[in-house]
Each structure stands twice: as structure tokens, then as C-alpha cells.
Amino acid sequence: MKPKKNTDSLQELHAIREQNYKETKNMSPSEYISYIRKKASKVSKSLKKLRVISSPDDFYTNTTKGKRAS
């Protein structure tokens, strides 16, 4: 038996793609590149706001302010 596809997820994906198409359909290639770069810049700024935790010890230290359970 094949697994069922999640139709809600597919519908959401189609809606996102349709919206992207509507926003970009009349753009020239240079306008499209500029549009994508602006979106990428926003994402990059958002990601920089997130703290990157390199190891579980860093996570524990940052969340408990250096106090380790014994």
C-alpha cells in the first residue's frame, strides 16, 4: 500500500508557488535577480539574529547560565 500524500501540505505549496509566480511574472531577468537578492538579504538578517549553538555543552551553558547539575 502506498502512503497517502498530505494534501494540506501540497495545497500550501501550490499556493506559495502561485503567489511567487504572480509577484514575479512580469519582471525582467535583472528585476527578478534583484527581487531574489532582497529576499535573501532579509533571510540572512533573520538568521544572524538567531544564536548558533555549536555543541550541546554550549547549549547547556547558555541556557543555565553556567550551572551544571551534579
Q: Tens digits of per-residue pLDDT, 25-44?
A: 999 999 999 999 999 999 98
Q: What pTM did the predictor assign?
A: 0.54
Q: What is the pLDDT of residues 37-64, one digit of tens each?
A: 999 999 988 888 776 666 666 666 656 5
Res. 13 pLDDT band, cuts 50 70 90: very high
Spatial separation of the C-alpha atoms in residues 58 and 9, rounded to whole Å:
35
Domain-embedded: residue 43: yes
Domain that holds residue 45: 26-70
What domain count does the chain have? Answer: 1
pLDDT at residue number 49: 78
In the structure grid, which three cell numbers stand for residue 68, read together? Answer: 551544571
For residue 55, tell me if it sits in a domain: yes
At 60 the pLDDT is 65
User: Which grid cell is 50?
Assistant: 538567531
